[in-house]
A and B are shown apart, each in its own frame.
Chain A
Amino acid sequence: MSQHQPDMISTSTPERQPVVNDFSITFCTVNGSGSATSNLTVLRAIFKMGIPVSGKNIFPSNIQGLPTWYSIRVNKDGFTARVEKDDIIVAMNPATFIQDLDYVVPGGMVLYSDDIKLTPTRSDLTYYPMPVKQLIRSIDITPQLRDFVSNMIYVGVLAWLIGIDMEAIRAALEYHFKGRAKPVETNLAAIRVAYDWAAANLQENHTYRLQPMKATEGMILSDGNTAAALGAIYGGVQFVAWYPITPGSSLPEALIEYLPELRMNKETGEQNYMIVQAEDEIAAIGMLVGAGWGGLRAMTATAGPGLSLMTEYLGLAYFAEVPLVVWDVQRVGPSTGLPTRTAQGDLTGVYFMGHGDTNFIQLFPGNMNECFEFGWKAFDIAERLQMPVVVLSDLDLGMNQWMGQPFEYPDRPMDRGKVLWEGDLDLFEAKTGKKWGRYLDVDGDGIPYRTLPGNLNPRSAYFTRGTGHDEYARYSEDPEVWERNILRLAKKIQTAKSYMPGPVIQRMEQAQAGIIAVGSTDAAVQEARLKLADRGIKTDYMRIRGWPFTQEVDEFVRTHERIYVVEINRDGQLRQILMINYPEQASHFRKVARVNGLPLSARWIIDEILSQEEK
């Protein structure tokens, strides 16, 4: 131990009441050092103890060597948004040690590796140097494994300090290592050594304590991308083409992991799906257009830069009326931006994507469960409307672990839309009295009937093109034909409203303002609303879940004179879209927007709204 440490231990004020199940811990580590397993183990163990918990990984665009932070928030009331201060930090990275101290609340705790020889700058914190190297040497493992398990030392010390249940830790490790005994025991041994060392050498502090609850009973823990992939599997996804990009990649990678489990014939080894890692995003979306046109449930996942590349093909898919699903897991742009940080910066980009008059159905999942739900629902909407659907998730939702209710099996049969096979063509003609035409709107909803390649009826084939075409898919430059067709496409957007998920609206008695948000900011908005109400500002809250907006959205906008639009981007993009959709109520919308790469905190939202309310 270095000289400064002994008198730094246990300087906390003994009269302080322990904080139970309401604090945050940040692990400050070096990317590529294997800390992710340790951090997830702590998160899962707390969850297993029945205590509401959330975790956020703030990581660099780097494989090894740059600083990474992982923040866990423990909150008995179930708040899961990011908080701006740390109660406890586990400082393992000398490069950020001094800076990391700045974020700790007065009276907070600092666990750190004793090979960090820097002098702490604050005397209002309690310091716990951990002899990581010395402890790890006392465990009987090969030197190669030492680096892997050395991060388990802080798990053990923390377990003793805040009271993480050892059985919960074991369950977390068994889950992580898929029940393989050897790594579970090796890691547990390191945790026990550290726990015992802490018990023997550290003075009890009890500033922050965990107490088992039953608040997570029956719940699950998943990241949004995994949830989306599983939802897509229950939506019958048949064709996936993708190109690696953060933070989209873990979605197709979850498909790669789970499709064989759920959709492969175990006896024959036959798979009724195909996954292609394409040469770029242009090819990935091209494959989807081909597959969607061929009648398959086709999807991809990407992020802003990939979506930019996909734009041309998406325009064709809109105009040629090809169903497909694109998950845009948003990160910070413009350009390459901050590839590993979260944002909601693609809202107007997607809204206006494509040249000419082009529209896309958009879905905004707000939590992990909705990622699952929209995973399957997006296919129903795409095939019903014969249109591309873009699902806008983000890095925070997609890549971080979230608590949620168990996934629910789809509550309705699949909607495969208007498809005619061999015998259906005669039925169509008997019923409508008209010769079938690919772009003929016989139902008045703007949606024509389509045939699929492989249909052996000699009248089923048609020529698909991105150029002007009439109801019978014939090339046409006729002004009337063009206008008729483009207006019919607009009608599909009107029709779409009855297939869209409506908003989630929460009201307060005598609310004086409204809040509108989409997506992952939900956690922070929920928390901000309750705390604003404590300060006398009552709000109604509408979380929009898709575009085109449904009637409930119209209603909310009309009935609230002052609406704060909360979002993670610079320009207030959701607000801009609302102003375009509701020009007469354009003055209702107030901007509460920022982008700095981090999820919004409730505190920032509260401060923003308070300052605008005072004006």
Chain B
Amino acid sequence: MTTVDAQTGINKVGLSRADYKGLPSTLCQGCGHNAISNQIIAAMYELDVIPEKIVKFSGIGCSSKSPAYFLNRSFSFNGLHGRMPSMALGTLFADMTLKGIGVSGDGDTASIGLGQFKHLIRRNLPMVYIVENNGVYGLTKGQFSATAEKGLTLKHEGTNLFLPVDICLEALASNATFVARSFAGDPKQVKELIKAAISHRGVAVLDIISPCVTFNNKDDTIHSYVFGKEHEVRLHDLIFTPARDMLTIEDFAEGDTRDVELYDGSMITLHKLGTDYDPRDRQAAFKVLEEARVKRELLTGLIYVNPDEPSIFDLYKFPEKPFNRMTEQEIRPPSETIRMVNEWMFSA
């Protein structure tokens, strides 16, 4: 479902797929993060997004290097470990028409950055927040992260004794308005979720299990490719339809689907698999996550969405003109006001 011209490969904003690319990746061959970068490229290309309207943010770690490998024509800030959310908030106020894509990892989000992650969610800043979750520190060569499963054994670290932090549960508990989990080995689902996330007006958390082929990819561990392939349970099949394509929507068979309309009129169509899951039900979201944990399943799909909660931008009245294009006349009070200000100061 794209508007790309099949002959020329040019999309509606006149760009080819190459215009969405980044530099060649320096991550390991087969790293799940590269697969995610490719789906970001595909999603933005297919959605006719103008790359200059996207700003990329990241923290520190393998995941946080990946913004260099997609959307070369977008501004990007590779900041501090665990502190990307605050930076993103400041920048997006500079021009509220921009969309943020943040890429973080499980160390960056669930260890050092858990506080900022939760407060970003609480403020519901419109941006996509991708966690490339592999349960391990790659860039420092193989230490446990906070999402590592209990009992995981790593070469130099021994056995992890602690229960993992569940990023989706943390997000839900912080009143996230969009929570999804996916698997880097399921590129189609990753792409559709990224498309939906970018249309959501609020923080869209995507916890994507992204195997680390170098340090944590043993077949029986939950962050590995083999485990993911064998244990992925999709809540539903989903397709995202931008508002402008509503007339051409290729629906699933009637009666099997559920639609979620997002803020901008675009639609997520969920095809029922097994049970009829309603992602607007927050209690059900907690329940399926807990059940999956008990059954040791990799549950994927749109776990929770609330398109009605206002974003931080909706809580104030701002002018349409971007803040960073305002002139001196617009931001410095006129000279005649200084008299009034001095009177406020109990002038004698």
Interface string of A215-240 (1 = CB under 8 A from B): 01111111000100010011111110
The distance from the CB of A250 to the nearest CB of chain B, in whole angstroms, is 15
A149 CA to B78 CA, complexed, in Å: 57
Which candidate, B93-101, B103-111, B302-310, is the interface stretch facing chain A?
A: B93-101
The distance from the CB of B289 to the nearest CB of chain A, in whole angstroms, is 25
Are A276 and B324 in contact (CB-based, < 8 A)?
A: no
A453 touches B (CB below 8 Å) = yes
A536 touches B (CB below 8 Å) = no
Residues of A within 8 A of B53 (CB): 456
A423 touches B (CB below 8 Å) = no
A154 touches B (CB below 8 Å) = no
Which candidate, B83-91, B195-203, B269-277, is the interface stretch facing chain A?
A: B83-91
Residues of B within 8 A of A455 (CB): 52, 75
A270 touches B (CB below 8 Å) = yes
A398 touches B (CB below 8 Å) = no
Interface string of A391-415 (1 = CB under 8 A from B): 0000000000000001111100110
Tell me the chain A residues, 461-508 only, with Cβ under 8 Å from chain B.
461-467, 475
Are A295 and B94 in contact (CB-based, < 8 A)?
A: yes
A313 touches B (CB below 8 Å) = yes
Are B319 and A294 in contact (CB-based, < 8 A)?
A: no
A262 CA to B334 CA, complexed, in Å: 9
Are B90 and A239 in contact (CB-based, < 8 A)?
A: yes
Residues of A within 8 A of B77 (CB): 290, 293, 320, 464-465
Interface residues on B, range: 35 or more
CB closest residue in chain A, given B19: A458
A-B contact count (CB 8 A): 225
Are B332 and A454 in contact (CB-based, < 8 A)?
A: no
A280 touches B (CB below 8 Å) = yes
Residues of A within 8 A of B317 (CB): 268-271
Are B83 and A313 in contact (CB-based, < 8 A)?
A: yes
For the complex of A and B, the 6 pairs showing the least CB-CB separation, nearest first, are A294-B94, A290-B90, A286-B86, A291-B90, A236-B331, A295-B324
Residues of B within 8 A of A297 (CB): 331
A291 CA to B93 CA, complexed, in Å: 7
A285 CA to B90 CA, complexed, in Å: 9
CB closest residue in chain B, given A421: B325
CB closest residue in chain B, given A320: B77
Are A235 and B80 in contact (CB-based, < 8 A)?
A: no
Are A218 and B345 in contact (CB-based, < 8 A)?
A: no
B68 touches A (CB below 8 Å) = yes
With A282-B83, A290-B77 known as contacts, the answer to whether A272 contacts B331 (CB < 8 A) is yes
Residues of B within 8 A of A236 (CB): 326, 328, 331-332
A273 CA to B338 CA, complexed, in Å: 19
Residues of B within 8 A of A222 (CB): 345-346
CB closest residue in chain A, given B338: A409
With A263-B331, A272-B319, A289-B90 known as contacts, the answer to whether A467 contacts B348 (CB < 8 A) is no
A460 touches B (CB below 8 Å) = yes
Which candidate, A42-50, A342-350, A552-560, A606-614, is the interface stretch facing chain B?
A: A42-50
Q: A274-B323, A283-B83, A292-B90 are in contact. List 5 more A-B contacts (CB 8 A).
A: A268-B319, A270-B317, A406-B338, A407-B338, A467-B78
CB closest residue in chain A, given B89: A287
Residues of B within 8 A of A414 (CB): 328, 332
Tell me the chain B residues, 49-81 only, with Cβ under 8 Å from chain A.
50-53, 55, 67-68, 72-80
B333 touches A (CB below 8 Å) = yes
A287 CA to B119 CA, complexed, in Å: 12
Interface string of A298-337 (1 = CB under 8 A from B): 1000000000000011001000100000000000000000
B283 touches A (CB below 8 Å) = no
Contact of A296 among B75, B76, B324 (CB under 8 A): B324
Residues of A within 8 A of B248 (CB): none
A265 touches B (CB below 8 Å) = yes
- Most chain A CB neighbours (cut-off 10 Å) among B89, B92, B324: B324
Are A313 and B346 in contact (CB-based, < 8 A)?
A: no
Interface string of A423-438 (1 = CB under 8 A from B): 0000000000000000
B322 touches A (CB below 8 Å) = yes
Are B88 and A270 in contact (CB-based, < 8 A)?
A: no
Residues of A within 8 A of B123 (CB): 276
Are B98 and A287 in contact (CB-based, < 8 A)?
A: no
Residues of B within 8 A of A451 (CB): 75
B337 touches A (CB below 8 Å) = yes
Are A276 and B80 in contact (CB-based, < 8 A)?
A: no
- Most chain B CB neighbours (cut-off 10 Å) among A234, A258, A280, A288: A234
CB closest residue in chain A, given B93: A274
Are A230 and B324 in contact (CB-based, < 8 A)?
A: no
A272 CA to B331 CA, complexed, in Å: 7
A245 touches B (CB below 8 Å) = no
Are A286 and B333 in contact (CB-based, < 8 A)?
A: no
